[in-house]
Structure 1
Amino acid sequence: MADLTFFQVALNTVNMAASLRFYSEIFGFANAGGQAAWGDVMKVQGLEPDGQLLCWFMVGRHRRIQFEIFQHSAPDTRPQPFDWSPVDHGWVRVGIAVSDIDGVLSRLALRAIAPMAPVCASHELRHFAVRDPYSGIIVEIWEDGPGLPGGSHPRDNDYDPLIMYVTSSVADIAVARHFYANILGLPLLPLDTLHGASDEALWGLAG
């Protein structure tokens, strides 16, 4: 089986310009342009050809990993339900490593965005989580350093943020493990490689 390469994180936003500014000014992702789409290509997302959307790209430290941010206008992007939880099905969280975690905290504070729980330390590195105000997902921010889970990444450009991981919440963990390990051929790592049970409190769960 050919090696698989993770190359995008796609999210829907209710405010494209605000999302681009959020990920650029807070974390340092770079604007990589965008495009509008309509017609048959909409079927890729399970939508009708008479729909339309705007898609924008942002890049960080990785050479071949990018954010793809979508705002639909037919049908309109729907905000998450008020009672949404990170245990709801779907992809729910992204982890980003930055070299200046204090700077990120300061810039979030200027926008009145507070961590969902106190900043904690694991692997001798600080990390915390916030709720993206425009897409609704959880963003976990890690301090970059030698102990970073999964390893740090060489700089192929001048951009700082590093996409570490994404998390999806599934109905059947055994089926999901079979799909990723046996169908896609990806290695399964121990759960504590990245998080312990107590880390669930960072994004508002009991742990």
Structure 2
Amino acid sequence: MSSALPLCQIAMSVLDQPGTYAWYQQLFGFLPAGGTNSFRGPIASSIQGIPKAASSCWWLVDQQSQFQIELFQFESPVVRPQAKDWRPCDIGYSMVSLWVKDFDACLTRLDRLGGKLESAVQGKSGQRRACFRDPEGVLLEIMEEDIRARSKRQRPNLSASVAVRSVTMSVEDIERSAQLMGDIFGMQELDSELIHSAEHESLWGLTGAQRLQRVFDAGDMFIEIVQYQQPLGKKLPDDYRISDQGLLNIAFGFRSWREFNRVHKRCKANGILGNSRALHLGAWSVVYVNDQQGFSFELLMVKPWYDSFMGFKAKPGWKQSDKLEPSLRL
């Protein structure tokens, strides 16, 4: 059943949407791709599983096709800041890794923007890596070497100087998470050290940490699942909401309703239930599902001709005041 179910979206809840949006463009070369103020009201609350949901959502794209970074700024519920003592071993979506076209230039821009590395740059020339946090506290890793270069999808946005390579999840039960990725989402498992090995722990300040890890093929990217044995991470708080500051979920992309429905049915059959029934709006369909460890996943079907309305096409010069597509209203 294994295949490359493509990762099409990484979503963040932010406190400063304009500032963070500009930061990702200035530092990495992400391209603006529009936005919407339409994710609000009873239907949005039902889909996202949070009360009285009201947010604006702005999109950024990198070199890849059918992939975006989503920046949500929630008006309701009020965004709760990330804990000051948060560590990458804590349970939740923990890190995004990116290939950058010019590693040294990226570090220079980071310094100019006031960013600080978590530790010294690691690796020999051509394979260097570094870690730092974005303005919202999200942990980012930059890579000089494109770990997906040997097997990549079409990359239509070559004017962007960045490509997301992986997202890391810190989980309590790695076997259950691996079953979700492999048996339920139907993804292919790869070499567990394809992305990271023990020496990389120092990059994000966990030198000497011990963890289990599994890696899965996600199209032109990877999903890395880790379970820390030492140090043990904090669990998600009982009152956690995906509107809390930080990485909130990832989305898998589909091009046909049939394939979307097939995976959704398999989720329901295995207890990976949605906050609501799937919403079908002709050109696109969506449902947020939740695993038993508290992780939110989005299943998103978008017809190719509708990509530009859903933030999968670059829109140079886009600004907040631009009109938003009314058909996105929920």
Answer yes or no: same fold by TM over 0.5. Answer: yes
| 8 Å Cα contact 1:123-1:149 kept in structure 2 | no
C-alpha displacement of 1:133: 1.9
C-alpha displacement of 1:122: 6.4
Structure 1 Cα separation of the partners of residues 106 and 6 of structure 2: 28
What secondary structure, in the 3-state scheme, does the structure 1 residue paired with 2:201 have? helix
1:193 alignment counterpart: 194
Supply the AA of the counterpart residue of 2:143: W
Structure 2 Cα separation of the partners of residues 200 and 3 of structure 1: 27
CA shift in 2, pair 1:65/1:123, >3 Å: farther
Structure 2 Cα separation of the partners of residues 16 and 93 of structure 1: 19
| Worse-matched range after superposition: 33-42 or 114-123 | 114-123
CA shift in 2, pair 1:82/1:97, >3 Å: same
Does 1:162 pair with 2:160?
no
| 8 Å Cα contact 2:92-2:170 kept in structure 1 | yes
Supply the AA of the counterpart residue of 2:105: G
2:14 alignment counterpart: 13
Gaps of 5+ in 2: 209-330
What secondary structure, in the 3-state scheme, does the structure 1 residue paired with 2:90 have? coil
What secondary structure, in the 3-state scheme, does the structure 1 residue paired with 2:190 have? coil
Structure 2 Cα separation of the partners of residues 101 and 13 of structure 1: 26
The structure 2 residue matched to 1:115, chosen from 114, 117, 120, is 117
1:45 alignment counterpart: 48
Gaps of 5+ in 1: none
| 8 Å Cα contact 2:45-2:53 kept in structure 1 | yes
The structure 1 residue matched to 2:131, chosen from 129, 132, 138, is 129
Does 1:180 pair with 2:147?
no
Structure with bigger gyration radius: 2
RMSD of aligned C-alpha atoms? Answer: 1.7
C-alpha displacement of 1:43: 2.2
Structure 2 Cα separation of the partners of residues 200 and 191 of structure 1: 15
Structure 1 Cα separation of the partners of residues 207 and 143 of structure 2: 21
C-alpha displacement of 1:126: 0.9
Supply the AA of the counterpart residue of 1:107: R
Figure out how many residues of one structure are paired with residues of the other and give that number.
202
C-alpha displacement of 1:192: 1.6
> Could you report, residue by residue, the CA deviation over 1:76-109 in whole angstroms, capped at 9, with x for unpaired residues?
1111011111111111100110111111101110
CA shift in 2, pair 1:68/1:192, >3 Å: same
Supply the AA of the counterpart residue of 1:109: D
C-alpha displacement of 1:189: 1.6
| 8 Å Cα contact 1:42-1:51 kept in structure 2 | yes
What secondary structure, in the 3-state scheme, does the structure 1 residue paired with 2:156 have? coil
Structure 2 Cα separation of the partners of residues 93 and 163 of structure 1: 11
Name the TM-score, length of structure 2 as normaliser: 0.58
1:138 alignment counterpart: 139
Higher RCO (CA-CA < 8 Å; seq separation 6+):
2
